[in-house]
Amino acid sequence: MSTPSSSIESVLVENRVFEPSAATVASARISGMPAYEALCAEAAKDPQAFWARLARENLGWHKPFTQVLDDSQKPFYKWFADGQINASWNCLDRHIGTPVENKTAIVFEADDGAVTRVTYKELLARVSQFANTLKAMGVQQGDRVVIYMPMTIEGVVAMQACARIGATHSVVFGGFSAKALQERIQDAGAVAVITANYQMRGGKELPLKAIVDEGIAMGGCESIKKVIVFQRTPTACNMVAGRDVLWHEAIAGQSTECAPTFVGAEHPLFVLYTSGSTGKPKGVQHSTGGYLLWARLTMLWTFDLKPEDVFWCTADIGWITGHTYVAYGPLAAGATQVVFEGVPTYPNAGRFWQMIEKHKVTIFYTAPTAIRSLIKAAEGDEKVHPKNWNLDSLRLLGSVGEPINPEAWMWYHRHVGHERCPIVDTFWQTETGGHMITPLPGATPLVPGSCTLPLPGIEAAIVDEQGNDVPNGSGGILVVKKPWPSMIRTIWGDPERFKKSYFPEELKGYYLAGDGAVRSADRGYFRITGRIDDVLNVSGHRMGTMEIESALVAKTDLVAEAAVVGRPDDLTGEAIVAFVVLKRARPTGDEAKALAKELRDWVGKEIGPIAKPKDIRFGDNLPKTRSGKIMRRLLRAIAKGEAITQDVSTLENPAILEQLAQNN
Ligand code: WT7
């Protein structure tokens, strides 16, 4: 083992390798590299037989499928299409009559530390009761239901109840603004919103229902017939007569038994909005059968889940990670999981470590941005260093959402995993439904900063702009060459955009992930180098640059033009930098500061706090070509504080560069 001399070098040449221990290999479901390779070979030889076998072994089918893949309308692939299934049955009912029925399904820890537990049997009763409530309100199979809730058992119940009656849920993260919520309600044509009066974050009570009211009042939400309000805190909230009903009042008297509605495997289980390279978020539509297969299987493969495990994924249900690895995967696999409402830094930055100790967590899955902020906190204050807690229960660590830098990886490995726990660096996306490229704990030798190799059946590759394979060691475009069951089915209401975004003609029909990647020369391991489109990754949250630009120019009294780029950031991975031309003279000094704050708050209102630019710079103009195209690569260099060494000969107004570089 050699220690690289600098962080830059460590990213480029990472030669530390961590082999799985003999004991881990021996006990693993996929035991050793030969077992992994055998599965890959099985998938390559006859993909349909491979996926059919897994779908039969892993899911309970109400009516068995006879067809595996239907590619007659590619890229609108269908999987197991004539099979009938229910996701909630597969997460709950299937465990009844087995030892899992009395096992704890969810250990819920609230922001203030209060703990609530539910068993599988109890969860089934709660989901069924809420499913009956939805039905009684007129929610039908195929209807869309928006869920705008904090992390709660009820949030999971709401998702599962929709699945149970064949309604398609669309969860909107509780940090999104009224405007963002309204756009999603409207795009999805939702018939109901399930929300809470307030949410608790870091000891603060923050409104949710008031934001729902504000969003609906913006118009275009006439499809909404009902708003169900879970009372998270005792504080009263506004209730609209005839439309709004309190959760606990609505469920009263409803039966705790509800026969699941079996749907075709392709039935949309959910639509989840994510950012793309245009101003409008895309509603990523997922299936029921294919999605659920991968949610369960990756729990068994990537996390090598054992009956006695206590699994904790820290993601919010508002993101895909919270769908696949909180609301569906752990339940479909019969796991005991921790669900957490609060934030990693409250009451102090030892919260995660304290919770791991308290709940004897064995598998811990979080984001690099959280790890980096906890490293910083631990380095600044001994008292919140993980060494203060007993983390012996841990056996496996995971990372998700953005590239993990080798330094953070090593710290996680040493101070959380005590050099004993493998780290699975899982690369995937909202669109992929579940893990794509990831180590397997009992097989794959680990290299810090690399997501290593694709899961069996996933034909990931790196190609050039014509779709030709590039050799290991050269960077290129990450694609997936063959369809897989949990892939995105379409963009809700916009099949053309789906085709254009993910299956561009130049790429031979491959799925375009939108990331750049490189494979190591020696092992062929993948390392993700970041997005190649106009999408930013800020603290593991996906943001479209155009989305933020649209929000800025929507402030029509002030803003004439805006361009948004990303800048590398030690803590958040990337930071948002906005270059803004105002409709008045370029401000400087205190005026610039005040206007920057005004614009930041405006973006927070338009999209949500996560979209607020870290840095706003004002210019008389933006660097443009003679044909009027904004030269973003120059803006990226300026944002990084780099000297402009690039060709500026096509630039209409070179003097602007200096102004933007100086302006702060
Ligand atoms: C984008 C997808 C994966 C679920 C949460 C985020 C980046 C994700 C990794 C990783 C490097 C990663 C990619 C991807 N990303 N995981 N392990 N290593 N980059 O889902 O919001 O759809 O974002 O996150 O850039 O395209 P998402």
Domain final residue, candidates 501, 516, 531 = 516
pLDDT for the residue numbered 2: 31
pLDDT for the residue numbered 7: 39
Query: Which residues lie closer than 8 Å to 22 by C-beta, 6 or more apart?
Result: none
Rounded to two decimals, the pTM is 0.94
What confidence tens digit (pLDDT) does each residue in 253-297 have? 999 999 999 999 999 999 999 998 888 899 999 999 999 999 999
Distance CA(138)–CA(159), nearest Å, equals 17
How is residue 131 written in tokens? 């499913």
Residues 511 and 545 reside in one and the same domain: no
Tell whether residue 531 is among the known ligand binding residues: yes
What band does 485 get if pLDDT is binned at 50, 70 and 90? very high
Residue type, 2: S
* 3-state class (DSSP) for residue 478: strand
Residues 256 and 324 reside in one and the same domain: yes
pLDDT for the residue numbered 213: 98
CA of residue 30 to ligand 1 center, whole Å: 24
Query: Which of 276, 265, 355 lies closest to 310 in space, CA to CA?
Result: 355
Query: What is the number of alpha carbons within 13 Å of residue 152 lying toward its C-beta?
Result: 24
Contact between residue 160 and residue 88 where contact means Cβ atoms under 8 Å apart: yes
Closest ligand 1 atom to the C-alpha of 426?
A: 17
Contact between residue 535 and residue 277 where contact means Cβ atoms under 8 Å apart: yes
Residues 482 and 592 reside in one and the same domain: no
Contact between residue 287 and residue 345 where contact means Cβ atoms under 8 Å apart: no
Q: What percent of the chain has pLDDT over 70?
A: 98
Closest ligand 1 atom to the C-alpha of 438?
A: 17
Distance CA(451)–CA(436), nearest Å, equals 9
Residues 286 and 170 reside in one and the same domain: yes
Residues found in the chain:
664
Query: Which of 311, 303, 305, 307 lies closest to 327 in space, CA to CA?
Result: 311
Asked, for residue 369, whether it belongs to a domain, the answer is no
What band does 606 get if pLDDT is binned at 50, 70 and 90? very high
CA of residue 424 to ligand 1 center, whole Å: 14
Decide if pLDDT at 475 tops 90. yes
Query: Which of 458, 462, 460, 466 lies closest to 474 in space, CA to CA?
Result: 462
Distance CA(362)–CA(395), nearest Å, equals 5
Domain final residue, candidates 459, 483, 516 = 516
Cβ neighbours around 17 below 10 Å, total: 14
Asked, for residue 285, whether it belongs to a domain, the answer is yes
Closest-CA residue, ligand 1 atom 13, reads 402
In the block, residue with structure tokens 């370029």: 586
Closest ligand 1 atom to the C-alpha of 513?
A: 26
Residues 511 and 549 reside in one and the same domain: no
Query: Which of 559, 555, 619 lies closest to 587 in space, CA to CA?
Result: 619
Query: Which residues lie closer than 8 Å to 266 by C-beta, 6 or more apart?
Result: 78, 79, 80, 81, 287, 288, 289, 290, 489
Asked, for residue 10, whether it belongs to a domain, the answer is no
E strand segments, 440-550: 460-463, 475-480, 490-491, 511-519, 526-531, 535-538, 541-544
Query: What is the number of alpha carbons within 13 Å of residue 135 lying toward its C-beta?
Result: 20
Query: Which residues lie closer than 8 Å to 152 by C-beta, 6 or more apart?
Result: 108, 196, 230, 232, 339, 341
Contact between residue 485 and residue 290 where contact means Cβ atoms under 8 Å apart: yes
In the block, residue with structure tokens 């930041």: 600
How is residue 394 written in tokens? 């841990």
CA of residue 487 to ligand 1 center, whole Å: 15
Q: Which residues pair with 113 in a beta bridge?
A: none
Decide if pLDDT at 664 tops 70. no
Closest ligand 1 atom to the C-alpha of 425?
A: 17
Distance CA(592)–CA(601), nearest Å, equals 14
Q: Is 315 in the pocket of ligand 1 (CB under 6 A)?
A: no
pLDDT for the residue numbered 82: 98
Task: Name the domain count of the chain.
Answer: 2
How is residue 72 written in tokens? 């007659």
Residues 465 and 593 reside in one and the same domain: no
Distance CA(27)–CA(32), nearest Å, equals 10
**Alpha-carbon distances, residue 122 vs 304, 313, 516 (angstroms):** 26, 21, 45
DSSP state of 202: T
pLDDT for the residue numbered 277: 82
Alpha carbon 492 to its chain centroid, in Å, reads: 18
Give mean pLDDT, residues 586-603: 96
- Domain containing 199 equals 26-343+427-516
pLDDT for the residue numbered 625: 84
Asked, for residue 354, whether it belongs to a domain, the answer is no
Domain final residue, candidates 482, 516, 550 = 516
* 3-state class (DSSP) for residue 438: coil
Residues 180 and 328 reside in one and the same domain: yes
Closest ligand 1 atom to the C-alpha of 514?
A: 26
CA of residue 454 to ligand 1 center, whole Å: 14
Peptide bond into 441 cis (omega under 30): no
What band does 663 get if pLDDT is binned at 50, 70 and 90? low
Query: Which of 660, 544, 618, 652 lies closest to 183 in space, CA to CA?
Result: 544
Residues 510 and 629 reside in one and the same domain: no
Residues 582 and 639 reside in one and the same domain: yes
Give mean pLDDT, residues 24-33: 98
Our CA angle for 199, 548, 219, nearest 5°, is 60
pLDDT for the residue numbered 3: 33
Q: Which residues pair with 541 in a beta bridge?
A: 538
Decide if pLDDT at 650 tops 90. no
Query: Which of 547, 541, 533 lies closest to 502 in space, CA to CA?
Result: 533
pLDDT for the residue numbered 4: 32
Q: Is 268 exposed, middle or buried (0-12, 13-18, 19+ CB in 10 A)?
A: buried
Query: Which of 428, 170, 123, 175 lies closest to 295 in space, CA to CA?
Result: 428
* 3-state class (DSSP) for residue 35: helix
Query: Which residues lie closer than 8 Å to 510 by C-beta, 6 or more apart?
Result: 461, 463, 467, 479, 480, 481, 503
Mutation to probe ligand 1, out of 542, 543, 545 (largest number of atoms < 8 A from CB): 542
What band does 1 get if pLDDT is binned at 50, 70 and 90? very low
Cβ neighbours around 506 below 10 Å, total: 12
Give mean pLDDT, residues 24-52: 98
Residue type, 60: G
Closest ligand 1 atom to the C-alpha of 428?
A: 3
Alpha carbon 441 to its chain centroid, in Å, reads: 22
Distance CA(140)–CA(144), nearest Å, equals 9
Cβ neighbours around 248 below 10 Å, total: 11
Residues 611 and 473 reside in one and the same domain: no
Question: Residue 338: which H helix or E strand, with range?
Answer: strand 336-340
Asked, for residue 522, whether it belongs to a domain, the answer is no
What confidence tens digit (pLDDT) does each residue in 492-545 have? 999 999 999 999 999 999 999 999 999 999 999 999 998 999 899 999 899 999
pLDDT for the residue numbered 537: 94
Mutation to probe ligand 1, out of 14, 270, 400, 429 (largest number of atoms < 8 A from CB): 429
DSSP sequence for 375-426: HHHHHH-GGGSGGGS--TT--EEEEESSPPPHHHHHHIIIIITTTTS-EEEE
Q: What is the mean pLDDT of the chain?
A: 95
What band does 13 get if pLDDT is binned at 50, 70 and 90? low
Q: Is 526 in the pocket of ligand 1 (CB under 6 A)?
A: no
Q: Is 423 in the pocket of ligand 1 (CB under 6 A)?
A: no
What confidence tens digit (pLDDT) does each residue in 568-589 have? 999 999 999 999 999 999 999 9
CA of residue 401 to ligand 1 center, whole Å: 4
Asked, for residue 137, whether it belongs to a domain, the answer is yes
What confidence tens digit (pLDDT) does each residue in 318-361 have? 999 999 999 999 999 999 999 999 999 999 999 999 999 999 99
Residues 78 and 184 reside in one and the same domain: yes
Residues 296 and 204 reside in one and the same domain: yes
Query: Which of 373, 328, 324, 315 lies closest to 542 in space, CA to CA?
Result: 315
Closest-CA residue, ligand 1 atom 2, reads 429
In the block, residue with structure tokens 């909107």: 172
Q: Is 538 in the pocket of ligand 1 (CB under 6 A)?
A: no
Decide if pLDDT at 446 tops 60. yes
CATH of residue 74's domain is 3.40.50.12780
Closest ligand 1 atom to the C-alpha of 530?
A: 25
Asked, for residue 241, whether it belongs to a domain, the answer is yes
Q: Is 400 in the pocket of ligand 1 (CB under 6 A)?
A: yes
CATH of residue 562's domain is 3.30.300.30
Tell whether residue 529 is among the known ligand binding residues: no
Contact between residue 92 and residue 111 where contact means Cβ atoms under 8 Å apart: no
CA of residue 430 to ligand 1 center, whole Å: 8
Asked, for residue 523, whether it belongs to a domain, the answer is no
